[in-house]
Amino acid sequence: MKHSMDLGMFRQGNHSPSYFTLARSMGSGSEELSDFCIPCNPYFPTPDMFAELSAKLETILKYYPTDAGAITGQLASLLQMPPQTIAMGNGSTELITWIDHLMIHESMATPVPTFGRWTDQSLETGKRVDMFQLPEAGGFALDIDAYVDFIRERNSRVAVVCNPNNPDGNYIPKWEVLRLVDSLADRDLVVVDESFIDFVDAEHRPSIAQEAMLRHNVLVLKSLGKNFGLHGIRFGYVVGNPALVKKIGSRLPKWNLNSLAETVVFMLRDHLAEYRESLRLLARDRYEMINELRRIPGMQVFPSQGNFVLVKLPAEVEGPRLRDYLLSRHGVLIRECGNKLGITSQFVRLVVRPREDTERLLNGIRSYLTSSFSESLDGATPMDLAGRFAESTGLKTGTHSVLDDPLGDRVVPLLGAEGPRLSRSGTR
C-alpha cells in the first residue's frame, strides 16, 4: 500500500505532527494509519466506555463543566488522597508551564534525553537549563549520585526527573527516587514526572506520590491522558505538600477542565477493574514486542517499563528514512528521535500495541532492512557482515546491572562491584 502525504511536516519542529495534521495530509487513507508514535493504552477506555461517552456527547458539548475544584475532589476521592494535595490542569503540559512560571526562577536541571517540554519550556522563558547527558553505553540509565553531584556543581535550583523516562522507558526503583529527592532537600523544587508510572510492573506501588505530600519541595506530575491514551481530553495533575500545590492551584482558572474530562473522571470508579486489566495486557504486549524486535538482526532494543520501546537502528539505517518509508509504504507512524536533545536520529521510539498491529510494524521494518542491506552488500567482506548483525548483551551501570531481559523490569545490584561510576557529563 502507498500513502500520499507531505513528509516535510516532520521537519518543522521539535515534536511530531498531530494526528489531525497527519490525517488531513493523508486524506482518505488516514483511517488505515497504525500509530506507533503517540503513547497510548489500546485497551482503555473499553468499547463499552466509548459507547457510553458517545451517548452523552451532545450533553457534554452543550453544557459548562463543573468547576475544577469539584472535579479535583472526585479524583482525590478515587485516589484516596486529600484534595488539598492535588491540582488538576488542562494536560500535564499546562502544569509544566505553570511550574516554570511560578517556581523556576533561575535554573533547572534535567537528564537528557527526556520529554521535550522539560527542556524547551524553561529555555523559552530565559532560564538556564542544565542538561545531564544519560549515557548510551549504560542504556540511558540515570546514576542518582552522579546526577546529584551534577546539580550541586552547577548550583541548579530546580531538578526534574521522569520515571519511567521518555523516550527510553528506564525505570528508577522507588527507594532510589526517594533517595534522590531527599538528597536535594535544599533545592527550591524537585519534580518527579510520573506520567507513565502506571505501566510499571517492576515493583508494587512504584509511585512516590504519598511520600511527596510529606516533603516541602517535591511535586509529582501525573498524566491521565497518557495512562488512558486520551490525549485529546487534556487532563493531568500534580501531587504534593498542600502549601506547594496551592501555589499552582490558586493560579489555575476556575473552569480550566472541560466537560469531557469531567465525564471521564466521574466514570472511572466503575471501571477500575477494566483499567487494571488493560495494564496487564499492555505489559504482556510489551514483553512480546521486545522479544520480536530483538529477533531482527542489528537492532538494539532497550528494556522498558513504559508503554513504548526505544530501539537503536543498525548503523546503515537512517531514522528519518525508515520513518518516511514505514508511513508512505505501510501506513505505520513511528517516532524518530533526532529532534530530541541528547539522542540521535539513529534511535526510534515505538509505542506498544497489540500483536496484530505489531506484526504490521515488524513486516515494514524487515522489508526496509532487507532492501537497505541488499543495496549495501556490494564489496562487503564477511567481517563487515558479521559486524552489522552483532547483537547486544547486558548493560552495566554504576553498581547496578540492567539485564538484557524482554520484561525490562529487573534492576539488580552487582554484588561486590568495584568498577568506577559512570562519568558525569552535561552541557550548560
The per-residue pLDDT for range 137-171, each reduced to its tens digit, is: 999 999 999 999 999 999 999 999 999 999 999 99
From CA 146, how far away is CA 132, in angstroms rounded?
9
8 Å CB contact between 72 and 66: no
E-state strands within 224-375: 236-240, 300-301, 308-312, 332-336, 347-351
pLDDT category at 396 given cuts 50, 70, 90 is very low
Residue with cell 497518557: 226
The per-residue pLDDT for range 65-92, each reduced to its tens digit, is: 999 999 999 999 999 999 999 999 999 9
For residue 399, what are the CA distances in angstroms to 141, 150, 384, 420? 12, 18, 34, 9
Which part of the chain is CATH 3.90.1150.10? 16-44+273-372
**pLDDT of res. 415:** 31
pLDDT greater than 70 at residue 423: no
- As a whole number of Å, the CA-based R_g of the chain is 22
pLDDT category at 393 given cuts 50, 70, 90 is very low
- Average pLDDT on 197-207 reads 97
Question: How many CB atoms are closer than 10 A to CB 170?
Answer: 27
Q: Is it true that domain 47-270 has CATH number 3.40.640.10?
A: yes
8 Å CB contact between 114 and 92: no
Residue 34 bridge partners (DSSP): 332
- Class of domain 16-44+273-372 (CATH, top level): alpha beta
Counting beta carbons within 10 angstroms of the beta carbon of residue 272, is it exposed (0 to 12), middle (13 to 18) or buried (19 or more)? Answer: exposed
The per-residue pLDDT for range 217-268, each reduced to its tens digit, is: 999 999 988 888 888 888 999 999 999 999 999 999 989 999 999 999 999 9
Helical packing angle, 92-103 and 242-249, nearest 10°: 100
From CA 347, how far away is CA 313, in angstroms rounded?
6
The per-residue pLDDT for range 169-199, each reduced to its tens digit, is: 999 999 999 999 999 999 999 999 999 999 9
The per-residue pLDDT for range 322-360, each reduced to its tens digit, is: 999 999 999 999 999 999 999 999 999 999 999 999 999
**pLDDT of res. 227:** 87
Residue with cell 527542556: 119
Q: Which three cell numbers stand for residue 141?
A: 540509565
Coil, helix or strand for 288? helix
**Average per-residue pLDDT in the chain?**
86
> In this predicted model, which residue has the larger pLDDT, 277 or 381?
277
pTM for the full predicted model: 0.84
Which part of the chain is CATH 3.40.640.10? 47-270
From CA 288, how far away is CA 355, in angstroms rounded?
8
**pLDDT of res. 228:** 87
Helical packing angle, 117-124 and 92-103, nearest 10°: 40
> In this predicted model, which residue has the larger pLDDT, 314 or 19?
314
Coil, helix or strand for 69? helix
